[in-house]
Structure 1
Amino acid sequence: MSVTTSMIHFTDKKDNTIYVSNALMHSLRLDRHRPMKLRLGEKKVNIHIKRIKRRGKHLYIPNSIRNAIQLPRKGQSYVIQNKQDEIKLGPLIGILCHAPNRTMQMPFGDRSYAAKQYLKIGSKQAFYFAFTLSDVNWKDETVTAFFIDSHNRWKKKTVPLPDVVYNRLTSRVVQKSQSMQTLRDRFKKHDIPIFNWDFFDKWDIYHLLQGTIEGQQHVPETTINPSSQDIKNMLDKHRFIYLKPTKGSLGIGIFRITYHPSNGYFVRFRKNKKNQLLRFSSFSSLMKFFKRKSFKDYILQQGIRLIEIDNRPIDFRFHLNKDGNNDWAVAGIAAKKAGRGSVTTHVKSGGQVMETLDTLKQVFKGSRSSEIYEEAKRVTTRLANTIERKHPHLIGELGFDIGIDKDGRVWMFEANSIPGRSIFKHPSLKARSSSQLKYIFDYCVYLSKQRTTGRNL
């Protein structure tokens, strides 16, 4: 397989011949006497090749061929000779978004700006676009795609089904919809890789890590659908637990329960946008508060005594991405300090985002802070590799909620398959934002190359 970049031009010539500069012919090792196919995404046409004398790498495509493969623009792009008889343009990469309220100026509602940030990274190297579920025409096998032009304006084009899809749907309801299941099924039939497949349920990840070295060393004791007796036993054992809904997010529905033998049971939770604290003198009165006999679809988890600053617990968000070599890279890390009386460190509950290494230096003296920082990166990378290896679908991005206890031990509380990017708004991480977006693009290009060569993904 030969890969290079070229300037693509359109021409009014009427034949089925593409015109290739000497440098591009040489780079792609093309034989002008051999009949070829020109491909974009799922569309391809038969072509002939004619060599032209022009410096640099240039490709001239007649408008008739351009229309046949639905090539959205001219300009620079990767060009790949993936088989002896095929030249591939692109790749054609789609970001799947949610758009409850769309206009031409804001085709993805309040997420339109975020979509542009992704597309800016790769739009000069590939055909990089955003779309929604309703933009796919299965009859014609095309997509109504939204590109950005050189002036950062939205341009709507019809293109073939893409080479790779990055799932950036942020609605759990839409992820579970029949339209989304249809898209997954049909893309799978076309061998079009899509990552990340869906949101994780909390228990899926805990269950997946059971029996692994990483799970045994770094995941707190956890059980699903606990009975009241399970809760009492874990409180007696650890004195401090969490109850979490399996499908929850943003800290909603989480209870932190602490047991002091001489003072009773204390429950922290959030209600009506306020942090709440209640005390119960007995376990039976605690259970009456919950008004339920079972905790179906809840996770019971051992609490960990985390490092603290100002008597407020600290945890960490690690954002990991696959890179262009199919390796996991730590794209960003943020420390988060819990709000006063809050169950979690979420900003909406009064939490505060802080620079990671500076935070660790306030707790651990000397070189110990740097040692723990590097160890946490190694742990999350091993966790990512284990989850990827054991999960049935493609994963290219993970967000980990990580804790560090007062002994410096690293704990994993949650893994998110479609993590938010809010940590990159912090001044210490703004410079990392572009790098993280580039990881996404580079991994898409990697997947496209693997698909081109017919290798299993």
Structure 2
Amino acid sequence: MLRKAAADPALLARAPTDAIVQAQERPVLAILTIDDDLQLFRGNRQNFADLLKTGEDQGFLAYVATVRHLKLDAPRVQGFTYNAAKDVWIKSWFPRPTIVYNRIPQREDERLPWVRKKLARIASQPDMALFNRRFFNKWSLFKWLSAYKSTRGYVPETKRLTEQRVLSGMLKRHPLVYLKPVRGKAGVGIMTVKLSPEKNLPYRLQVQDEKGSSTYHCATIGRLWTRVRANAPSESEPYIAQRGIPLAKVNGRPFDLRALVQKNAEGVWELTGIGARMAGMSSITTHVPRGGSIEDPERLLVAVFGQEKAQQVFANARHAVLTLASRIERASRSRMFEMSMDLGVDEQGNLWFFEANSKPMKFDEPHIRKKSLERIFQYGHYLHRRRQQERR
């Protein structure tokens, strides 16, 4: 396991300053994160170390930089690299990046006014490409995808949860409704409402928090709404209400597909890989930290649908994620490089879009992980070649 870098500069090794000279003809990528008083910078250090190693193998100069230290009007940047032999993060000066890979790990950090201002300045630099401009907003995603014929068929009915009558209307049409925080992460704050009219307490509310889940039974829609509001993280946290999809199950446990799409060495969206996540026995989501498990998607699909139909569902999923990625990029009006997606498969084999993440977490499947790291720099080379051609 990697040690946290000490805050005392005296404990940090120093990289040779001639790296700036050596990088004149090499593409330069800065992994952007935010400062931390205790450990110098925030983020997944193992992921950062893997990125730096892959960048070196791919002919890049790569380093970690914080928002505060990335000075856009200076020819060099104070940043960090990693010495695997000594297991230490090294502080030094590096050349101005040609690519900035936004890995600020928390939404609340990215929403800080001075951070948003810096990201906007980075995006406006003519000699710099920004990967992953910002976290996605769930409501924006569903609005974008519902607006176009090519993608609306993948979107479950979704409404902004602004008042009680929105929830009441959804439950009249769907016996299962998911309530999701617009800016949620890792399943925290997700709720489900199941309506069973034949019961004395017909409304069953299940709430997922950081430690587990809680269940409430309510007699009326008014009492249900009071419970929902009490369990929302805060009054200012917007929610959406979404039709619950009866997912395909194996051994009584529902599963969904996790896809990673990235741009390739030709600058075109390409599927990097598809995994599967199966829900834990008492979880309302398939997130692994909540008891979910990593599974082989083809094996699960064959178990439910048989070999022939499973192959068709898998082929449909490959087509769907590329269509969805292209539409999200166009609707966002900003250049994107990668995104992960959660796709549901219902009991009939239909595909449903649940979520997209502009800052994908590390995939645990080794073949997807390796390809995902390499593709970051392959697309970086594509941008570097284009910039060189434009200068001629």
1:47 is matched with: none
Q: Are residue 402 (structure 1) and residue 348 (structure 2) matched?
A: no
Kept in 2, the 8 Å contact 1:244–1:255? The answer is yes
Give % identity.
27
Kept in 1, the 8 Å contact 2:20–2:95? The answer is no
CA distance in 2, matches of 1:217, 1:315: 17
Alpha-carbon deviations, 1:311-339, whole Å to 9, x = none?
A: 22211211111111112222232211112
Q: Are residue 262 (structure 1) and residue 198 (structure 2) matched?
A: yes
Kept in 1, the 8 Å contact 2:72–2:122? The answer is no
Look up the SS of the partner of 2:68 in the other structure: helix
Kept in 1, the 8 Å contact 2:34–2:68? The answer is no
Gaps of 5+ in 2: 1-15
Alignment of 1:345-364 (within 5 A): 345-364=286-305
2:174 is matched with: 238
CA distance in 2, matches of 1:169, 1:229: 37
Residue 416 of structure 1: CA displacement?
0.8
Residue 101 of structure 1: CA displacement?
5.4
Structure 1 window deviating more from structure 2 (325-334 vs 395-404): it is 325-334
Residue 141 of structure 1: CA displacement?
4.1
Look up the SS of the partner of 1:301 in the other structure: strand
Residue 453 of structure 1: CA displacement?
3.5
TM-aligned CA distance change 1:100 to 1:377, over 3 Å:
same
2:13 is matched with: none
TM-aligned CA distance change 1:281 to 1:186, over 3 Å:
closer
| TM-score when normalising by structure 1 | 0.74
Residue 443 of structure 1: CA displacement?
1.2
1:179 is matched with: 114
1:438 is matched with: 374
- The code of the aligned residue for 2:311 comes to S
Q: Answer 1 or 2: higher relative contact order, Cα 8 Å, separation at least 6.
A: 2
Kept in 2, the 8 Å contact 1:121–1:434? The answer is no
Choose which of 119, 137, 149 in structure 1 pairs with 2:52.
119
RMSD of the alignment, in Å?
2.6
Alpha-carbon deviations, 1:120-142, whole Å to 9, x = none?
A: 11214122222111322355342
CA distance in 1, matches of 2:111, 2:220: 41
Choose which of 211, 220, 226 in structure 1 pairs with 2:162.
226
Larger strand percent: 1
Kept in 2, the 8 Å contact 1:93–1:127? The answer is yes
Q: Are residue 164 (structure 1) and residue 92 (structure 2) matched?
A: no
Residue 182 of structure 1: CA displacement?
3.4
Alpha-carbon deviations, 1:80-113, whole Å to 9, x = none?
A: xxxxxxxx6011111113452566xxx6466222
Kept in 2, the 8 Å contact 1:268–1:341? The answer is no
- The code of the aligned residue for 1:121 comes to T
TM-aligned CA distance change 1:432 to 1:118, over 3 Å:
same
- The code of the aligned residue for 1:277 comes to T
Q: Are residue 418 (structure 1) and residue 359 (structure 2) matched?
A: yes
* Structure 1 stretches of at least 4 aligned residues deviating more than 4 Å after TM superposition: 107-110, 148-155, 291-296
Residue 299 of structure 1: CA displacement?
0.3
1:84 is matched with: none
Alpha-carbon deviations, 1:275-295, whole Å to 9, x = none?
A: 222222332332232357999
Alignment of 1:11-410 (within 5 A): 71-72=19-20, 74=22, 89-100=25-36, 108=41, 111-124=44-57, 125-138=59-72, 140-148=74-82, 154-191=89-126, 192-263=128-199, 264-271=202-209, 273-291=211-229, 297-410=238-351
Kept in 1, the 8 Å contact 2:255–2:279? The answer is yes
Alpha-carbon deviations, 1:186-212, whole Å to 9, x = none?
A: 324431110110001111111111221
Residue 249 of structure 1: CA displacement?
1.0
Residue 232 of structure 1: CA displacement?
1.3
Look up the SS of the partner of 1:305 in the other structure: coil
Residue 349 of structure 1: CA displacement?
1.9
Kept in 1, the 8 Å contact 2:188–2:210? The answer is no
Kept in 2, the 8 Å contact 1:334–1:354? The answer is yes
Kept in 1, the 8 Å contact 2:35–2:67? The answer is no
Gaps of 5+ in 1: 1-65, 78-87
Alpha-carbon deviations, 1:257-302, whole Å to 9, x = none?
A: 1112212111111246132222223323322323579997110111
CA distance in 1, matches of 2:118, 2:95: 14
- The number of residue pairs the alignment matches comes to 368
TM-aligned CA distance change 1:252 to 1:246, over 3 Å:
same
- The code of the aligned residue for 1:147 comes to T
Kept in 2, the 8 Å contact 1:227–1:295? The answer is no
Structure 1 window deviating more from structure 2 (118-127 vs 162-171): it is 118-127
Look up the SS of the partner of 1:190 in the other structure: coil
Look up the SS of the partner of 1:367 in the other structure: helix
Kept in 1, the 8 Å contact 2:33–2:64? The answer is yes
2:4 is matched with: none
| TM-score when normalising by structure 2 | 0.86
TM-aligned CA distance change 1:295 to 1:283, over 3 Å:
farther
Look up the SS of the partner of 2:307 in the other structure: coil
Larger Rg: 1
TM-aligned CA distance change 1:398 to 1:169, over 3 Å:
same
